[in-house]
Amino acid sequence: MFRLQGSKVLAVDMTGDAVKAKNGSMVAYDGQMAFKKMSGGGEGIRGMVTRRLTGEQMTVMEVKGHGTCWFADRASEINLVSLQGDKLYVESSNLLATDAALRTGTSFTGLRGASQGNGLFTTTVEGHGQAAIMSDGAAVVLRVSPQYPLTVDPGAYVAHQGNLRQSLQSGVTFRTLMGEGGGEAFQIRFEGDGLVYVQPSERNTIAGDV
């Protein structure tokens, strides 16, 4: 029921069911819709407190009704992800909408998060259904298999799903310390089996400066 209209607009056909979407991202709808803000991402008191503490706040609204609703946010490119019981890791600022049936939560990312410039925690989406994630420019989906690990620039990383282990790789050498670094001092390495979404643009990160 999620479909893309162009690459920047998400259309959702609803028949009495609900979706969770980023606050204020509705651009148009027909039929009957009700919008309700969900405090703390709709995860109850515990989820709300966790989000406050971890800085992974997201303001989510629940959209419910009959008809078609269109979502878009600052002309970002939108990618559809379908989940069959697996887990999607995405930054809360890159998450546009999810099926109401999907559970969202927070998870600790360690040093990798800090190198990406968006904190030590990330948002997880879990269950069966569809999610829409946003990227700056059209994202590419790269497959990681046990034989082929993948290394990504932290600033270009958007999301990943599947059974992946990640580690922070540093290419800091004597030259970096002298201020002669290549601008690629940190990378995230993914090993295992899964998919990684990469955008053709880099956020400002600490890693990008050295």
Residue numbers of the site for another protein (CB under 8 A)?
5-9, 23-31, 33-37, 39, 59, 61, 67, 70, 72-75
Structure tokens at 82: 């379908």
6 versus 110: smaller Cβ distance to another protein? 6
Question: 205 by DSSP, 3-state: which?
Answer: coil
Q: How far is the CB of 173 from another protein (least distance, A)?
A: 39
Q: How far is the CB of 136 from another protein (least distance, A)?
A: 13
5 versus 173: smaller Cβ distance to another protein? 5
Within 46-119, strands assigned E span 60-71, 77-90, 95-99, 103-108
Q: How far is the CB of 8 from another protein (least distance, A)?
A: 4
Question: 196 by DSSP, 3-state: which?
Answer: strand
Q: How far is the CB of 34 from another protein (least distance, A)?
A: 8
Alpha-carbon torsion, ordered 127, 131, 134, 138, to 10 deg = 110
Q: How far is the CB of 18 from another protein (least distance, A)?
A: 13
53 versus 75: smaller Cβ distance to another protein? 75
Q: How far is the CB of 198 from another protein (least distance, A)?
A: 22
69 versus 156: smaller Cβ distance to another protein? 69
14 versus 61: smaller Cβ distance to another protein? 61
Contact 187, 166 (CB under 8 A): no
25 versus 122: smaller Cβ distance to another protein? 25
- CA-to-CA separations, 143 to 128, 137, 190, 193, 198, in angstroms, rounded: 20, 19, 10, 8, 11
57's CB contacts (< 8 A; 6+ apart) are 51, 92
CA angle (128 as vertex; 98, 22 as ends), nearest 5 = 5
